[in-house]
Amino acid sequence: MASPLTVDNDLKRSDKKLAKKMVKIEKRLMENENILISQESTKILCVQNGGLVNGVSQEELLPLFSKFGVMSGIVMLPRKQYCFVCYADAASAALAHEKLNGFLLRRGPDPAQDVYLYLCFVEKVPPSISPSYEKPPGLDIVEEFVSEETEQALIKLMDLDADGTAKETSLMKHRRVKHFGFEFKYGINDVDVNDPLTDGIPSICHEFLNRAKDQGLVDHFPDQLTINSYEPGQGIPAHVDTREAFEDGIIALSLGSQVVMDFRHDDGRHVSVLLPRRSLMVMRGESRYVWSHGITPRKSDIVAAQACRNLTDSRGTDENDGGLTLQNRGRRVSFTFRKVIKDRQASKHDSCKNDDSGDVSLEDTSVPQTEEEAVALERKHVNKVYEDIADHFSGTRYKPWPRVIEFVMQQPPLSLLADVGCGNGKCLGANKELFEIGSDFSSNLASICHSRGFETCVGDVTCLPFRSGSFDVVLCIAVIHHMATKHRRHKALSEVVRVLRRGGRALVYVWAMEQELNKSQSKYIKPRRQMRQDGVTHQDAADTTSDRLTCDSTSVRAHENGAEKLVGKQSDKVSEDSDIGTGECSVGDTVSGPASGLVSCSQQECHKPDLKTPIAVRQISTRHRNNVTEKSPDLEDLSSTETSTNACSVTSVSADSSSEVSQASHDKKLAVHVNRTQFKDQDLLVPWQLKTKSADKTRSDGSDEPVKADLFHRFYHVFRQGELEAMCKRVPGCAVTQSYYDQGNWCVVLERL
């Protein structure tokens, strides 16, 4: 038996070790996360290793921390190793700190994976992540809108046909679904207005729907009903019901169980709203069109105890303590009523004029004719979009394209590689024997790439911040097709060649006009049976484009090259009515920018970053961008009617079939592409329905329902067969050594001569 003195010495050593570790943790939180640490007791604890990255959930923390006092909130952050636990008073937080600092929450497969909690006091939760329990504007919730008898009769509709016999419902990955009036077609994220169902809105629903209309809750009597049955642990991801398909005023009736619905705004606001059993929720105006709504898949919700007093199956902490409680979910049947818009042309016109995402007045977006117009278009419909969606975009990128990695792995050891348009760095780090640096015009994406440990800088593909002849290898994947004129595409390709040394090689990918080649459709066009089964929709397959794809982590995610299929952990991010990607989840970062002229960076006063500086994001100067007014040179001068004489297996492209706009089309408006269909124009806008990264900011998981928190439009120029090779031939000092078609993309390997 150890003596008391030995035990005391062990405790002292343990205390010293903990104190030393806390100093490191607090320093890291202050320096890297900008969290203000307090040496005095406060109401808020920052819990290191209690974050989503560690696999820790709110449900796991609530019973542990609620023992020490009344809690007012638990704030979890995506991709963070910490969370915030908020108490009603500082004394409770101090007691929790005393008892739980250094607490072993969970043992891992080996000691290195054990999860210990380390606590420190903080002054406040950062405003951008503070939870709110206010309702979004335009949201109405009426409790006990139907009686218990009506509730039971409505639930039976889920399982019985009109004649009282059992009816098979559609079984999806996260729920059972049944439709009335019109079937919601997940492949197009819409209904077919010319194909109504024989069963209209059930008569049992007419009484309370008329009552809702009479009370002014909605302006239209609905003609489409979707019934979803959710078991505990199931949910729907953040989404916005399709603007062009349904009128304002979406009705949702919750039966069988309560649930917490999360509303998220793209400015970072997050509102959690409790939907009691038998309550009617109506979304109009801003809550209908601007805020996304979704339900996190879990078996219980953390709610205010006060809100649970009238719920019959309340469990958790004392309901009268005024704090939080854990409320178990039961089977929930949701009736969602919508009014279908029959006149789609008028709807699309109104949508273009009143887009809330910032892409306002799309009818005024024309094919650019001058450098100034092209720069303005790229700023609005390329650069700004990717800055806004950077977090969400990065969250959908996992594996790089196989043929890109095959190219990278072929490079000699110790080669210096530049990934122009690196995005989140997905293509970096595969070949450990190379020295690599990534550049991206999006500072947000460059920061994400940098946070993953890669050398990164901010750069414009038309004016790269690199010394001429400095790289052995250059990747330019899904970038050049964002340039708005042939002149700017030529300039971007010229920059790729300029930074290559003699004998160096570059791999360039662009999106193809031909999404079907040799009677074989690309993955972008092909429907995905698995996605349909999972409720993944493809309306905004723009997100699945060859460079920037909104891919649902849960459903099968097919590569643009057809080689990647993911059945991921984040299956909850599948959407019921949303734009889920089906193509390659690519690095594809936007590096387009408003630099002018065909000269090199040194001639344009671009500041070169010090490549010896340790991993850091470097911003290049943009002074030269402020006075860009010159007209682009004759576009036809940069076209070619010949194909490259190199080892290419593609046919030529003529000036007539080239993508450039002629004088006759000077006033041509950019068309908005219909996703997952063949391209009708080479210059077009492709929608991106954002699962709002603000939605992802606090979302650790999702489920499967429509994802349209905001609608953005990205400019693309899709390349015809032979067009990329023809452009390469016009760039001095390079030769095409290989060209190929890779699942909806034209690709070339260039060598610097």
Average pLDDT (525-547) is 40
pLDDT at 392: 67
Beta bridge partners of 684: 671, 716
What are the DSSP calls for 237-267, one per residue?
Answer: EEE---TTTB-S-EEEEEESS-EEEEEE-TT
Residue 495 has pLDDT above 90, yes or no: yes
Whether 6 maps to a domain, the answer reads no
- Domain range for 404: 398-514+589-629+645-651+720-752
| Cα distance between residue 700 and residue 262, in whole Å | 12
pLDDT at 281: 96
Whether 10 maps to a domain, the answer reads no
> Residue 538's closest CA among 550, 522, 521?
550
* CATH number of residue 46's parent domain: 3.30.70.330
Tens-digit pLDDT profile for residues 18-75: 888 999 999 888 888 888 899 999 999 999 999 877 878 888 898 899 999 998 888 8
Residue 171 has pLDDT above 70, yes or no: no
Whether 296 maps to a domain, the answer reads yes
| Cα distance between residue 358 and residue 107, in whole Å | 48
Residue 391 has pLDDT above 90, yes or no: no
Which SS3 state, helix, strand or coil, does residue 322 take?
coil
Instruction: Give the model's confidence band at 143: pLDDT under 50 very low, under 70 low, under 90 confident, else very high.
Output: very high
> Residue 710's closest CA among 306, 391, 342?
391
| Cα distance between residue 399 and residue 564, in whole Å | 8
CB 442 within 8 A of CB 401: no
What are the DSSP calls for 350-362, one per residue?
Answer: HHHHT-TTS---G
Contacts of 349 (CB under 8 A, 6+ apart): 363
CB 127 within 8 A of CB 75: no
Overall domain count for the chain: 4
Whether 2 maps to a domain, the answer reads no
Tens-digit pLDDT profile for residues 362-372: 555 788 888 88
- What amino acid occupies position 34? N
> What is the share, in percent, of the chain residues with pLDDT greater than 90?
38
CA angle, residues 495, 500, 506, in degrees to nearest 5: 85
| Cα distance between residue 384 and residue 672, in whole Å | 18
Q: How many CB atoms lie within 10 A of CB 443?
A: 16
Instruction: Give the model's confidence band at 348: pLDDT under 50 very low, under 70 low, under 90 confident, else very high.
Output: low
Whether 659 maps to a domain, the answer reads no
Compute the radius of gyration of the chain from its Cα atoms: 28
> Residue 228's closest CA among 295, 163, 165, 327?
295
Comparing 458-462, 642-646, 719-723, the range with the smallest average pLDDT is: 642-646
Average pLDDT (184-189) is 66
* CATH number of residue 609's parent domain: 3.40.50.150
Comparing 11-15, 214-218, 275-279, 686-690, the range with the smallest average pLDDT is: 11-15
- Residue 510 corresponds to which tokens in the numbers above? 């662009």
* CATH number of residue 198's parent domain: 2.60.120.1520
Residue 582 has pLDDT above 90, yes or no: no
Comparing 107-111, 181-185, 270-274, 289-293, the range with the smallest average pLDDT is: 107-111
Order the strands of the 332-338 sheet from edge to edge: 139-142, 280-283, 250-255, 332-338, 224-230, 176-180, 170-171
| Cα distance between residue 54 and residue 115, in whole Å | 8
Q: Are residues 22 and 42 in the same domain?
A: yes
Q: Are residues 318 and 404 in the same domain?
A: no
Whether 166 maps to a domain, the answer reads yes
- Residue 452 corresponds to which tokens in the numbers above? 């993953």
Q: Are residues 503 and 522 in the same domain?
A: no
Tens-digit pLDDT profile for residues 561-577: 333 332 233 333 322 23
Residue with tokens 């997905």: 426
Q: Are residues 328 and 215 in the same domain?
A: yes
Which SS3 state, helix, strand or coil, does residue 728 take?
helix
| Cα distance between residue 536 and residue 293, in whole Å | 16
Length of the chain: 753
What are the DSSP calls for 39-99, one per residue?
Answer: SS--SEEEEET-SGGGT--HHHHHHHHGGGS-EEEEEE-TT-SEEEEEESSHHHHHHHHHH
pLDDT at 395: 66
Q: Are residues 204 and 241 in the same domain?
A: yes
Q: Are residues 195 and 314 in the same domain?
A: yes
> Residue 435's closest CA among 459, 451, 419, 457?
419
> Residue 228's closest CA among 11, 463, 444, 535?
535
CB 270 within 8 A of CB 264: yes
If residue 736 lies in a helix (H) or strand (E), which one and from where to where?
strand 734-741
Q: Of 82, 103, 129, which residue sits at a domain end?
A: 129
Average pLDDT (572-583) is 30
| Cα distance between residue 231 and residue 598, in whole Å | 60
User: If you average pLDDT over each of 129-133, 337-341, 364-368, which comes out highest?
Assistant: 337-341
Instruction: Give the model's confidence band at 402: pLDDT under 50 very low, under 70 low, under 90 confident, else very high.
Output: very high
pTM for this model (two decimals): 0.45
| Cα distance between residue 348 and residue 633, in whole Å | 35
Residue 136 has pLDDT above 60, yes or no: yes
Q: Are residues 194 and 107 in the same domain?
A: no
Q: Which conformational region is residue 189 in: left (phi greater than 0), alpha (psi within -120 to 50 degrees), or beta?
A: left
pLDDT at 191: 84
| Cα distance between residue 537 and residue 518, in whole Å | 27
Look at 732 and 615; give whichever has higher pLDDT: 732
pLDDT at 719: 97
Q: Are residues 379 and 434 in the same domain?
A: no
Q: Are residues 409 and 283 in the same domain?
A: no
Q: Of 129, 149, 179, which residue sits at a domain end?
A: 129
Per-residue H/E/C for 131-160: CECCCCCCEEEECCCCCHHHHHHHHHCCCE
| Cα distance between residue 451 and residue 430, in whole Å | 17
Tens-digit pLDDT profile for residues 458-472: 899 999 999 999 999
pLDDT at 630: 36
Tens-digit pLDDT profile for residues 202-249: 999 999 999 999 999 999 999 999 998 999 888 887 888 888 888 999
Contacts of 703 (CB under 8 A, 6+ apart): 174, 234, 235, 236, 237, 294, 295, 296, 297, 571, 572, 573, 574
> Residue 736's closest CA among 561, 207, 517, 726?
726
Average pLDDT (699-725) is 71
Q: Are residues 581 and 596 in the same domain?
A: no
If residue 446 lies in a helix (H) or strand (E), which one and from where to where?
helix 443-451
Whether 240 maps to a domain, the answer reads yes
Instruction: Return mean pLDDT, the chain.
Output: 74
- Residue 463 corresponds to which tokens in the numbers above? 């004016």
Average pLDDT (112-134) is 77
Whether 143 maps to a domain, the answer reads yes
Residue 406 has pLDDT above 70, yes or no: yes
Q: Are residues 337 and 213 in the same domain?
A: yes
CB 307 within 8 A of CB 274: yes
Q: Of 107, 129, 151, which residue sits at a domain end?
A: 129
Q: Are residues 684 and 594 in the same domain?
A: no
CB 572 within 8 A of CB 173: no
Instruction: Give the model's confidence band at 399: pLDDT under 50 very low, under 70 low, under 90 confident, else very high.
Output: confident
Range 73-104 burial, b when 16+ CB lie within 10 A, else e: bbbbbbebbbbbbbbbebebbbbbbeebbebe
